[in-house]
């Protein structure tokens, strides 16, 4: 375990790396004794630094919930991070690629909570009952440290979250069978990835239930109005300035953005 001073330094180093657009060594190298509770504490301190500068906490992201993402990241357990209002983009946005170090895109679903939900013992049906809306989303993932990374590196680095793009059709939880929401992800007119949301732990709400139970262990919960990114059901696609991205969710609409 790390001391409070070491945790604070880890958070400051990540914050500086993001601000300066320069990667830093993995925290698992800088602090060989780092453990999962340390990583989540560093992540929380990093978010608090942004909030102190005027950002607002709007929800959570879940990562590494699908087999595709676990294989791509060589990590075998889910993780979660914070969503801030400064990380949100809308359909049609022109996103400055230079804001990120090495951005990649993932196809996801976003849950908008209609009521508070807390664990332990949360199940899929609890999540569906507490959710007001579900809509298409993409996550911009970014690494602020060198690779390869241990799970503690990824968690401390806000679970690799850099941004979130929302768009498409807003639906209520039971409008469609959300296990079978499919999507294709195109870059510059070429389909790079495709997948179906059942790849997220068998049901995308299962990832949200996992998050609720993990938050309960640290005395936290999901709150009404918060956003939750349920996890990717495709592998990440590299992006750079000049790329035009289009995610097609079929009946749920589409999201299109460009990176400049």
Residues 217-227: tens digit of each pLDDT: 999 999 999 99
Query: Which band of pLDDT confidence, cut at 50, 70 and 90, is reported for residue 64?
Result: confident
pTM: 0.94
The 10s digit of each residue's pLDDT in 23-45 is 999 999 999 999 999 999 999 99
pLDDT at 72: 61
Other Cβ atoms within 10 Å of 97 Cβ, number = 15
Answer for the pair 253, 137: CB distance below 8 angstroms, yes or no.
no
**CA gap 100, 162 in Å, rounded:** 7
The 10s digit of each residue's pLDDT in 113-125 is 999 999 999 999 9
Domains and CATH numbers, the chain: 4-259 (3.90.850.10)
Query: Which band of pLDDT confidence, cut at 50, 70 and 90, is reported for residue 94?
Result: very high
- Residue 218 tokens read as 């640290």
pLDDT at 116: 98
In the DSSP assignment, the letter for residue 24 is B
Provide the CB-side half-sphere exposure for 155 (13 A, CA). Answer: 21
In the DSSP assignment, the letter for residue 239 is -
Query: Which band of pLDDT confidence, cut at 50, 70 and 90, is reported for residue 78?
Result: confident
Please report, rounded to a whole number, the percentage of residues in the chain having pLDDT higher than 90.
93
**CA gap 31, 22 in Å, rounded:** 19
Place of tokens 């992540």: 43
Q: Name 94's bridge partners.
A: 258
């Amino acid at each position: 375990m790390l001391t409070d001073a070491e945790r604070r330094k880890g958070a400051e180093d990540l914050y500086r790396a993001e601000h300066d657009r320069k990667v830093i060594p993995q925290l698992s190298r800088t602090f060989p004794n780092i453990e999962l509770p340390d990583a989540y504490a560093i992540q929380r301190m990093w978010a608090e630094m942004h909030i102190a500068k005027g950002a607002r906490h709007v929800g959570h992201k879940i990562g590494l919930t699908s087999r595709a993402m676990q294989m791509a990241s060589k990590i075998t357990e889910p993780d979660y991070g914070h969503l801030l209002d400064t990380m949100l983009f809308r359909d049609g946005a022109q996103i400055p690629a230079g804001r990120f170090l090495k951005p990649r895109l993932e196809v996801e679903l976003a849950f908008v909570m209609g009521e508070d939900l807390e664990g332990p013992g949360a199940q899929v049906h609890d999540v569906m009952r507490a959710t007001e809306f579900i809509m298409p989303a993409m996550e911009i993932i970014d690494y602020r440290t060198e690779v390869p990374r241990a799970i503690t590196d990824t968690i401390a680095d806000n679970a690799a979250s850099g941004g979130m793009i929302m768009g498409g059709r807003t639906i209520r939880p039971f409008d469609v069978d959300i296990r079978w929401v499919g999507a294709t992800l195109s870059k510059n007119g070429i389909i790079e990835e495709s997948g179906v949301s059942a790849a997220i732990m068998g049901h995308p709400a299962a990832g949200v239930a996992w998050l609720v139970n993990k938050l309960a262990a640290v005395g936290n919960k999901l709150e009404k109005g918060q956003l939750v990114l349920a996890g990717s059901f495709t592998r990440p696609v590299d992006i750079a300035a000049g790329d035009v991205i289009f995610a097609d969710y079929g009946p749920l609409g589409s999201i299109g953005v460009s990176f400049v």
